[in-house]
Amino acid sequence: MKDFKKYYRLPATPEEVYTALTNPLTIELWTGETAEMSIEPGSEFSMWEGSISGKNLEFEEGKKIVQQWYFDGQPEESIVTIKLHPDKGGTSVELKHTNIPDAEYEGFAEGWDNSYFGSLAEFFEVEY
C-alpha cells in the first residue's frame, strides 16, 4: 500500500472549488460524465461511470472533504482527504490519498494530476 500527497493550485475561491467537488451537476461539467454525489456523511458517491466510487465521510464547507474510495478486496480503507486553503490567485488544494494498492499507484497518481485536478484547472480557466 502506498500514500499519495500533493498540492495543487486552482484559479478559483475555496468555495467555488468545494462546489465543483461536491455538486453533482458541477462535477458533470468538469468531468463530462454523470456523477452521483451528496454532502451527506455516509452517502455513496460515483464518478466517471463508476471508475471512482466510495463513501463520503466528512465535509467542512469550503474547507475540507474526506472520502473512502473503494478498491475490490482491499482490507484497509483507502481515504482521500482534500483540504482547501485560500491562496493569492485562488485556492491551494492539499490532497492526501492513503492506502492505494501498489499495482494501482501509478495510475492513480497520474489520474489525480491529469484527469481530476487537470480537468478542474481547465474548468476554472475557461473564458466566455
pTM (two decimals): 0.92
Structure confidence by residue, pLDDT tens digits, 27-43: 999 999 999 999 999 99
What is the band of 64 on the pLDDT scale with cuts at 50, 70, 90?
very high
Where does the chain have alpha helices with state H? 14-22, 24-31, 105-111, 117-124
Domain that holds residue 32: 2-124
The total domain count for the chain is: 1
CATH number at residue 103: 3.30.530.20
- Residue 110, Cβ neighbours under 10 Å: how many? 12
